[in-house]
Structures are given as structure tokens and as C-alpha cells.
Structure 1
Amino acid sequence: MYQVCIIIFIFGLCIGSFLNVCIFRLPESKSIVRPGSMCPKCGYMIKFYDNIPVLSYLWLKGRCRQCGVPISFRYPLTELMSGLFALCVFLRFGFTPEALVYYVFISTLLVITYIDIDHQIIPDVISLPGIPVFFAASFLIPNMTWTDSLLGLLTGGGTLYFVAWAYSLITHKEGMGGGDIKLLAMIGTLIGWKGVLFTIFVSSLVGTLTGVLIMLISRKDFKLKVPFGPFLSIGAIAYIFFGQEIIYWYFNLLSPY
């Protein structure tokens, strides 16, 4: 069993290396296929032995072999996260089509999260194709019907659209970008309307606590412009692994019998 886990983890590390390429190039509308990996500072084409996930970063001490410029720690961090999620999905759902769908979904959310943190955008090139792709993939999820997926799409997109519309109507300011609306619509196609409600609750809670914490640390009272995409991703991933159990526990807690 542990041999399989090691293989799954290494597979996830390799996928994480590709996710780094997507995170860096998609916001700049560059090809994620050509050219190969290169140093963003000097343009040095990275050799295969310098492109081994995590290990090459440690071997090179976090610097480009050619120019010596520091390489962000986020590169190996993304690879590690991808590897750990691959392992967690396998341990939770086994070697099944469902596990593969969830891993692709989580990998997509990782890319979106980093891009939203860096650029305050959620590229349509990810979220819009993601809606039909994950709608089709939802047929591989047990107990998920096409009506659940469709309701998730409508609930996800409709809920945030209404919130954005109401905020704009009251304050005459734009409070939530269209990228978040499309992202939650994409999320809803795979985890359904219950997952959307769970995601909204968790993302709002975590986002609020994070905002308050940042203000306390900085000791400033100001309006923060915090990207909401990462928190939506956290909520959706939490639902995949723990959502059903938490919902079941919550309703049992409310039940008098």
C-alpha cells in the first residue's frame, strides 16, 4: 500500500510542477506548452535535472543555476501541495474515476488561487471552460445527478451575482468581481447546490477571520481588498473531504432526538 502512496505522491509533485507553469503564464496569455521551463529573470532554459520537483530547488538552494537569482519558495510549495492533495484524494476515494475528477478539480482551484492572489483576477480561460468540463465530469461522481449539478451551477452563479448586484445597488460601488461569480458557478457544477451553500459559509467565515487577523497584525483600520477566490477554493476543497460529515453532524446536533 505504501508503495502506491509514494507513486501517487510523486505523480502529484510532477503535476504541481506543471501547475506552476500555468500560474505563471496564464495571466500573461502565454502558451503553457512552449517554450519549456525557463528562468523568468535571465531566460535560461532549465535542464531536466534542474526541474525535478522540490529536489532541484533544494539542490540549487533556491537559486537559478545560470544567474543565481532567488527562486520563489512558492514553486516547491505548490508542488508539495499538489502531491499531498493527490495522496489525500487517493486515501479518501481510492483508485477511482471519482478520485481523478476531484484531483483535477483541486488542481484547477490551486491555479486559480495563486493567480487571484497575485493578480486579483480569475481568468475566464479557466473558469468558463471549467463549467461544461466539470458538469460532464460530475456524472462520474456517485450520488451526483445532472439536476444536482445544474442546480449547483445556478445556485453558485446566481447567489454571488445577486450579492454583487445588491451591494452595487446599495453602495454604488463594485464589491465582487465577475470572476468570483464564474468560479462559484464552476464549483457548483461538481459539488452541487449543497456544496455551494457549504462553500459560501466556509469561505465567508475564513475570509472574515483572515481579514480581521490582517488588520489586527497591521494595526490599521482600513478597508481591505482581499481576493475572494482563494477562500471559495478553501470552502470547496473542505466540502469534498469533510462536507457531508460536517452537514450530518450539524443536523444531528440540532435534532432533539
Structure 2
Amino acid sequence: MYPAAELVTACLFAAAGIRFGSSPELLPAVVFISLLIIVVVTDIHFMLIPNRILILFLPFLAAARLISPLDSWYASLLGAAAGFLFLSLIAAITHGGIGGGDIKLFAVIGFMLGVKMLAAAFFFSVLIGALYGAAAVLTGRLAKRQPLPFAPAIAAGSILAYLYGDSIISFYMKMALG
């Protein structure tokens, strides 16, 4: 598991370097990717996203956002609130289908991405999670009611939105509008 995590981290750091170059956004990208990798590993092993990890990364993410802020000074705070409230609503509707760690993780993701890319991250996360879950059930690797760690899908969807969300949304809008 750990060599795979190291390889994925190196590839994602390289992708962030290609995407952001030497711009100030490279620092938030590296910190954000590091957090997501740690969260994925802990969720896969323990089905848990520890509060300590999120709290540990919070000052680094805040400092990174000060160095490279989103569109407005309040965009990160609005994104964090939206991420927390939206996932809390889903957890309430599904009666615990979403864990508390996922809720707090989406607050952090909203802080990093803002509301627009948070929506894209959520869409990509659900799509990736649904495809993986369906494939795992169809191949017999997962029973129908067996819980599935959602952090890997959240991380993949969030990184996809972070690095390529604007391009994907532009492509989709161009295709949809003709």
C-alpha cells in the first residue's frame, strides 16, 4: 500500500507542477494533495478520517490560501460552509449514509476550492464512487450492503476538480451549448 501511495503522491505532485507551474497556487496544491493522500490511506485501512489529521492540516491550508487566495477574501469561508452544510444535509437525509469525517473533509475541500469547484468535486466524487462501487459489487469484491470507504472517491473527484475542473466545465458547456 505504501509504495503505491508514494507513487500516486509523486504523480499528483508532478501533475500539480505541470498545472500550476511556479505560480503561488503550487503551494496550496501540494499541501492539499498531501492531506488527501493521508486521508485516503487512513480511510482505506480504518474506515475513518481522523479529526487530528484535518486539524493538523488546517493552519497549513489557511496559510497556503493566504499566499494564493481564491477569487475573493470570503470565497474559502463560503466554500467551507457550503461543503459542511451540504454534506450534513445529505447525512441527515440518508440517516448516516455519509460519515462525519466525510462531512468535515468536504468542509476542508470547500475551503480549498470555493463553491463552484466544490460542486464539481462533489459531482466527480459521487460519479467515481458510484462507478467503483458498482464494479466492486459486480465483480464480487463488495457485498451489496457492505460499507465502502468514500474518501478515495472524494480525493479523486476533488483533485480532478482542482486540477482540471475549469477545463472540464468549459468543455461540457461548449458541447452542451453547441
TM-score under structure 2 length normalisation: 0.91
Identity percentage of aligned residues:
35
**Contact 2:84-2:104 at 8 Å conserved across structures:** yes
1:178 to 97, 100, 117: 100
Relative to 1, partners in 2 of residues 1:187 and 1:221: Cα closer, same or farther, differing over 3 Å?
A: closer
Number of residues of Structure 1 aligned to a counterpart in Structure 2: 178
Q: Does 1:240 align with 2:138?
A: no
Instruction: Give the superposition deviation at 1:249.
Output: 1.6
Which of structures 1 and 2 has the larger relative contact order (alpha carbons within 8 angstroms, sep 6+)?
2
Alignment RMSD = 1.9
Q: Does 1:139 align with 2:66?
A: yes
Relative to 1, partners in 2 of residues 1:118 and 1:149: Cα closer, same or farther, differing over 3 Å?
A: same
1:214 to 133, 136, 145: 136
Gaps of 5+ in 2: none
Instruction: Give the superposition deviation at 1:104.
Output: 1.4
- Which residue of structure 1 lines up, in the alignment, with residue 11 of structure 2? 84
Distance 1:176 1:215 in 2: 19
Q: Does 1:99 align with 2:21?
A: no
Q: Does 1:125 align with 2:52?
A: yes
Gaps of 5+ in 1: 1-73, 169-173
Distance 1:148 1:203 in 2: 21
1:111 to 38, 54, 57: 38
Distance 1:83 1:167 in 2: 36
Distance 1:221 1:81 in 2: 27
Instruction: Give the superposition deviation at 1:95.
Output: 2.1
* Larger gyration radius, structure 1 or structure 2: 1
- Which residue of structure 2 lines up, in the alignment, with residue 201 of structure 1? 123
**Contact 1:164-1:175 at 8 Å conserved across structures:** yes
- Which residue of structure 1 lines up, in the alignment, with residue 83 of structure 2? 156
**Contact 1:154-1:185 at 8 Å conserved across structures:** yes
TM-score under structure 1 length normalisation: 0.64
| Residue deviations 1:163-201 (CA, integer Å, cap 9, x gap) | 111122xxxxx2211100000000110110111111111
